[in-house]
Amino acid sequence: MDNADQTGKPTRFQFASDNYAGICPEAWQSLDEANRGYASSYGDDPWTARACEKLRELFETDCEVFFVFNGTAANSLALAALCKSYHSIICHETAHVETDECGASEFFSNGTKVLLVPGKDGKIDLSAVEHTIKRRTDIHYPKPRALSITQSTELGTVYSVAELQAIGNFTKSYGLRLHMDGSRFANSVASLGVTPKEISWQAGVDVLCFGGTKNGMAVGEAVVFFNRDLAEEFDYRCKQAGQLVSKMRFLAAPWIGMLENGAWLRNAAHANTCARQLADGLGKIPGITLAHPCQANTVFVQMSPALATGLRSRGWHFYDFIGSGCARLMCSWETQSKDVETFINDVMELAQQ
């Protein structure tokens, strides 16, 4: 079964990814508004200026903002800006930077090595990071220069404010720069009920890649430098990497609509609520185990291959998460509560067979 039935009508049975969802009305409306007549190109337009201003207001600080097409570009270009080619980047072994970006960080940094650390439920273990930094200090080892963390994590968990402060203190004490892959940053803000600054610059984050796509935009992520010195010549880096959009207003405008009326947080909170509902319902079914705490918009479920096959034959879409033996169920701004109920009922029925 595909993403649409034969009539082209989209099927509802979607827990594959938050990027299967469409464009939310607020982002769409901003695109429409930006589409009235001429505007200067390459970011020299009122929408881009306004979107940057809105992001500065959101973070309550004078940050430098750049808009790029996707998360891979945002992460790899940001990390390249933090490191020289002989440095290394430390991240969790399940980090998107490592597992899903085709070596882009190494490529755009001219070879900065990515070093992996383990950690429970997708969060880095600081003692493992410390070991990675300290095990070698000689000239033959790629010098650790950046720590990259993901908020919310690839396993659907969220670093608390205290955990982030500990990470920020740690990176400061070792002279590391702190990068945050925030492709689902909004979900973590909604989950923790904090202000964006508390889990970004106030905790020591130097650069945040703030996701728009998975939270209801067509395309686009904002690279937000809280440490402005690190943003020097980042515009050239974007241009060289093919990330300087000539009609920049269409990448920037959706941020205005999303931020102005709170859709960015509403969308994320809705996705989180659906995931919570899914986790609560599934958690009560015998034979179903939740593999990680559900703290954002993703639920990881251990289920038998027969059950997974049964669900798929009823039309449900979801992924087996890379090599983990778990099904990953992901909710988005577009997930319907009644679909969550239908899914839970299907699991109950199939689990009894």
Ligand X SMILES: *Cc1c(COP(=O)(O)O)cnc(C)c1O
Binding site for ligand X (CB under 6 A): 70-72, 96, 150, 154, 181, 183, 213-214
Nearer to ligand X, 211 or 310 (CB): 211
Count Cβ atoms within 10 A of the Cβ of residue 312 and give its class: 0-12 exposed, 13-18 middle, 19 or more buried.
Answer: middle
Q: Which residues contact 198 (CB under 8 A, 6 or more apart)?
A: 161, 192
Nearer to ligand X, 77 or 263 (CB): 77
β-pairing, 143-150 with 87-92?
parallel
Cα 121 from chain centroid? 16
Nearer to ligand X, 26 or 154 (CB): 154
Smallest distance from ligand X to CB 18, Å = 8
Smallest distance from ligand X to CB 181, Å = 5
Nearer to ligand X, 30 or 150 (CB): 150
Smallest distance from ligand X to CB 313, Å = 27
Task: Give the whole-angstrom CA distance, residue 46 versus residue 127.
Answer: 46
Measured at the CA of 84, the angle between CA 181 and CA 235, to 5 degrees, comes to: 65
User: What residue spans of 174-248 are helical by DSSP H?
Assistant: 185-192, 234-240
Q: Which two tokens stand for residue 63?
A: 């940050």
CA nearest neighbour of 57 among 256, 244, 275: 256
DSSP state of 78: H
Contact predicate 317/286, CB 8 Å: no
Smallest distance from ligand X to CB 204, Å = 20
Nearer to ligand X, 23 or 288 (CB): 23
Nearer to ligand X, 180 or 344 (CB): 180
Smallest distance from ligand X to CB 203, Å = 18
CA nearest neighbour of 117 among 137, 140, 146: 146
Nearer to ligand X, 48 or 157 (CB): 157
Smallest distance from ligand X to CB 344, Å = 24
Nearer to ligand X, 78 or 288 (CB): 78
Residue at shortest CB range from ligand X? 71
CA nearest neighbour of 117 among 96, 132, 135, 137: 132
Task: Give the whole-angstrom CA distance, residue 330 versus residue 318.
Answer: 8
Smallest distance from ligand X to CB 343, Å = 21
Smallest distance from ligand X to CB 184, Å = 7
Side-chain half-sphere exposure of 152, counting CA atoms within 13 A: 28
Across the beta sheet with 327-330, the strand order is 289-290, 298-302, 327-330, 319-320
Task: Give the whole-angstrom CA distance, residue 27 versus residue 214.
Answer: 12
